[in-house]
């Protein structure tokens, strides 16, 4: 990543990010270059992505990312190098299904322990959004309210 020259290290209070989910060696690349770079760690791996974020966060600044639940061990290992007070928020596609995505948040320089939060179910049995998710998507509630 080549940061824009106007970015100054240790200046951001919050970074919210949606890094590529797939490791470059674990997927079949899409013929669409734009889609491929959005979904696959082609140029920058997750560790580099997180180090870049840590560089620009103030000490005590917060990072939140959404990622695949099956990469949670790897995410936590990488995040612990710069962040503590990690919170894992599972996102279940429907009740009774394993989480496919997680939102992981951390605090730069914190030594606080990791915690698993209650999480949210995205869809009702009929496929519609659950009430809390619908409220967050429409702006009726803040995403932060959903995560607490």
Give pLDDT tens digits for 85-121. 999 999 999 999 999 999 999 999 999 999 999 999 9
Res 5: pLDDT:
74
What token pair was written down for 112?
A: 């606080």
Tell me the C-alpha distance between 68 and 36, whole Å: 16
The H-or-E segment that residue 86 falls in is strand 83-94
What token pair was written down for 13?
A: 């209070």
Residue 49 sits in a domain whose CATH number is 3.40.50.150
132 in a structural domain: no
Residue 86: give the domain boundaries: 12-115
Res 31: pLDDT:
64
Tell me if 80 sits within 8 A of 86, measured CB to CB: yes
6 in a structural domain: no
127 in a structural domain: no
The total of structural domains in the chain comes to: 1
Residue ranges of the chain with per-residue pLDDT less than 70: 1-4, 20-44, 144, 146-148
Tell me if 58 sits within 8 A of 52, measured CB to CB: no
Burial code of 103-128, b = ≥16 C-beta within 10 A, e = fewer? bbbbbbeeeeeeeeeebbbbeeeeee
2 in a structural domain: no
Res 9: pLDDT:
92
With CA atoms as reference, report the closest residue to 120 among 89, 141, 144, 87.
89
Distance (Å) of CA 145 to CA 112, 120, 129, 142 = 22, 12, 16, 5
């Amino acid at each position: 990543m080549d940061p824009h020259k106007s970015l100054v290290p240790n200046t951001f209070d919050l970074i919210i990010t949606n890094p590529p989910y797939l490791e470059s060696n674990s997927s079949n690349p899409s013929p669409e270059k734009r889609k491929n770079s959005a979904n696959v760690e082609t140029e920058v791996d997750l560790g580099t992505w997180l180090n870049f974020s840590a560089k620009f966060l103030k000490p005590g600044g917060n990072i939140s990312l959404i990622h695949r639940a099956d990469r949670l061990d790897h995410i936590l290992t990488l995040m612990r190098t710069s962040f503590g007070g990690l919170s894992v928020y599972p996102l279940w596609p429907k009740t009774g299904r394993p989480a496919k995505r997680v939102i992981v948040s951390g605090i730069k320089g914190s030594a606080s322990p990791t915690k698993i939060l209650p999480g949210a179910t995205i869809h009702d049995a009929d496929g519609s959004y659950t009430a809390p998710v619908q409220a967050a998507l429409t702006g009726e509630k803040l995403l932060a309210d959903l995560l607490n």
